[in-house]
Chain A
Amino acid sequence: MLEWIQTNLPGVYSLGWGGDSGWGTSIAQTLYMTLGAAVFGGLLGLAFGIGLVITDEHGIRANRTVFEILDKVVSIGRAIPFIIMVVVFSPLTQLITGTTIGTTAALVPLSLGVFPFYARQVQVALLGVSDGKVEAARSFGASNWDIIHDVYLREGRSELVRVSTVTMISLVGLTAMAGAIGAGGLGTTAIVTGYQRFQNDVMWTATILILLFIVLIQFVGDLIARHYSHH
């Protein structure tokens, strides 16, 4: 196997496993960026998504002002191209992580880039929970927090898993883009090491690994969503 790679894919072989630009390192970096941004961007997106649903005109805590603010933030956030966001938020990144380059620094724009997208997806998923269920919960004296937790999140969870899967997949895409400006990971490998140094074998291998990663996320996501659905 290794020998076959050495003869047919010399570029891929020469990068090795460990080291700064090794395959193991870039895979770990991609995982780190994806999961890290999924946690931060995910929590922020979930909070905004819930906020949008409950402050909505028909929500359990209707509040036009708050709704408009959340809605505008999400819309504007969605409108700024990610690559520009990386640059625009670099002072913030510097403030939070102490640097503007590297994998950890990339977590800031990745989280901020993915959260508006996720917030919108969460909003749509939660709006799919029927008003009737919310009304039933109100009728037996559930508090707003009970309703968020026991109605919206629990009844919407298989849909939430589905939109989270979609978000994770687009997040993998964003990490590759972040890679173009030095964040590391499979994106850097494909673009900097592969494309810019004319090593097609490296570029394709990195691409296939990203693809496999995405397929894996989709598979696991579908599995969890199905496990949670009793509709």
Chain B
Amino acid sequence: MAVIELKDINVTFKQKKQTIVAVQNESLTVEKGDIYGIVGYSGAGKSTLVRTINLLQRPTSGSVKVNGTEMTDLSPNALRDERKNIGMIFQHFNLMDELTVFGNVAQPLKHSKLSKTEKKAKIDHLLELVGLSDRSDNYPAQLSGGQKQRVAIARALANDPEILISDEATSALDPKTTNQILGILKRLNEELGLTIVLITHEMQAIKEIANKVAVMEDGTIIERGSLLEIFTNPQQKLTKDFINTATNRDEALLNVRELLREKPLASDEQLYQINYVGNDTAQPLLSTIYADYQVTTNILYSNMEILTKTPVGLAIVVLKGADENIRTAVSSLVDHGVHVTQLDAEKEDA
């Protein structure tokens, strides 16, 4: 069931005399229980697009439906009520500095009908959920970045929303803390059935938890699909760039080229990148191509990721053998569903 349906969204800003198009005629459907990752560089329009979900950004034109309700038609009061169903967390946490941790989580409950005791029980429970029960009386200034984001998550969940929007929520955090926050989001998705829309410029974060991905550039989604599809078969150059960074392939290739400058490839050697899905395909195939075509494989780099429970592998290899044999070996690999790309051993860009 579609929880969020953005249709033909346009957002333009008028600045002085020029008009800036932030989002151009874009649509997005998010199903219940999805963790939908939206990746793109800053200025791509991903924040603007996602902010139309709770109408923090009113679209210039287009339809925004949350659980079938057309958000743009709502009265201000009804909109405020609807927003309680959509929690949001931010890059810079946006906690109230003059309120304690408890006060921050209590803030969205200001007009709730819960009694004082019920509110307290609820806030205590939320703080427990994010592991900050002992920090209840602290002020944000006394917390680390990761702790602040956990308070922000507890605050976003105060009204039991079905949807959580995460706007670059891990971008200001170190890798370890990032994983911790992503872990919490994943858990909330699994335990509470929370639908999450995650904006980031780091494919790494999306790789960890998302099940669907959209890649944005210049106000449009240039590519979208399941995490597995996007990772195993990216079409656009930008998508490939993001994935190459996320899988450390770029860094690995740099090291491989460094290595090859010291010890250049022999005339019967060629450099390849192979991508495969599933853990039982590639390794046996590499032994087969030796048996069948006398092509030996030297693995210079290999990496394996588990994406939505499916292993996805990447290897940079040197294939050694007669030209023709290598060509047949490669086509045999391709026949078995492995993606094979020849890499230039010297050029900086592949």
Question: Which residue from chain B places its CB closest to the CB of A150 in the assembled complex?
Answer: B107
Q: How far is it, in angstroms, between the C-alpha of A149 and the C-alpha of B289 when the chains are bound?
A: 72
Pick from B80, B87, B98, B140 the residue with the most CB of A within 10 Å: B98
Scoring A residues 122 to 139 as 1 if CB is less than 8 Å from chain B, else 0, what string do you get?
000000001011011111
Q: How far is it, in angstroms, between the C-alpha of A154 and the C-alpha of B100 when the chains are bound?
A: 13
A75 contacts partner chain B, Cβ-Cβ < 8 Å: no
Partner of A140, one of B95, B139, B140, B155: B155
Contact B139 A230 (CB under 8 A): yes
Contact B84 A140 (CB under 8 A): yes
Question: Which residue from chain A places its CB closest to the CB of B86 in the assembled complex?
Answer: A139
Residues on A with beta carbons closer than 8 Å to the beta carbon of B97: 155, 230-231
Question: Which residue from chain A places its CB closest to the CB of B84 in the assembled complex?
Answer: A141
Partner of A135, one of B94, B110, B140: B94
**How many chain B residues touch the partner (CB < 8 A)?**
29
Q: How far is it, in angstroms, between the C-alpha of A138 and the C-alpha of B83 when the chains are bound?
A: 8
Question: Which residue from chain A places its CB closest to the CB of B152 in the assembled complex?
Answer: A136
Question: Which residue from chain A places its CB closest to the CB of B81 in the assembled complex?
Answer: A141
A146 contacts partner chain B, Cβ-Cβ < 8 Å: yes
Chain B nearest CB, measured from A10 CB (Å): 54
A228 contacts partner chain B, Cβ-Cβ < 8 Å: yes
A:52-86 near B, CB below 8 Å: none
A157 contacts partner chain B, Cβ-Cβ < 8 Å: yes
B220 contacts partner chain A, Cβ-Cβ < 8 Å: no
How many A-B residue contacts, CB cutoff 8 Å?
Answer: 71
Knowing A132-B90, A230-B141, say if A138 contacts B84 (CB, 8 Å). Answer: no
Question: Which residue from chain A places its CB closest to the CB of B138 in the assembled complex?
Answer: A230
Residues on A with beta carbons closer than 8 Å to the beta carbon of B56: 135, 138-139
Q: How far is it, in angstroms, between the C-alpha of A176 and the C-alpha of B239 when the chains are bound?
A: 70
Knowing A139-B56, A140-B108, A140-B159, say if A230 contacts B98 (CB, 8 Å). Answer: yes
A112 contacts partner chain B, Cβ-Cβ < 8 Å: no
Question: Which residue from chain A places its CB closest to the CB of B142 in the assembled complex?
Answer: A230
Contact B158 A140 (CB under 8 A): yes
Chain B nearest CB, measured from A228 CB (Å): 7
B88 contacts partner chain A, Cβ-Cβ < 8 Å: yes
A14 contacts partner chain B, Cβ-Cβ < 8 Å: no
Residues on A with beta carbons closer than 8 Å to the beta carbon of B90: 132, 135-136
A:193-231 near B, CB below 8 Å: 228-231
B92 contacts partner chain A, Cβ-Cβ < 8 Å: yes
A:133-173 near B, CB below 8 Å: 133, 135-143, 146, 150-151, 154-155, 157-158
Question: Which residue from chain B places its CB closest to the CB of A151 in the assembled complex?
Answer: B96
Contact B83 A140 (CB under 8 A): yes
Residues on B with beta carbons closer than 8 Å to the beta carbon of A230: 97-98, 139-141
B4 contacts partner chain A, Cβ-Cβ < 8 Å: no
B54 contacts partner chain A, Cβ-Cβ < 8 Å: yes
Contact B110 A146 (CB under 8 A): yes
B156 contacts partner chain A, Cβ-Cβ < 8 Å: yes
6 nearest CB pairs, A to B? A140-B108, A136-B94, A132-B94, A139-B88, A230-B139, A141-B83
- Residues on A lying within 8 angstroms of B by beta carbon are 130, 132-133, 135-143, 146, 150-151, 154-155, 157-158, 228-231
- Residues on B lying within 8 angstroms of A by beta carbon are 54, 56, 80-81, 83-84, 86-88, 90, 92, 94-99, 107-108, 110, 139-141, 152, 155-156, 158-159, 165
7 CB-based A-B contacts, threshold 8 Å: A132-B94, A136-B88, A139-B88, A140-B88, A141-B108, A142-B110, A154-B99
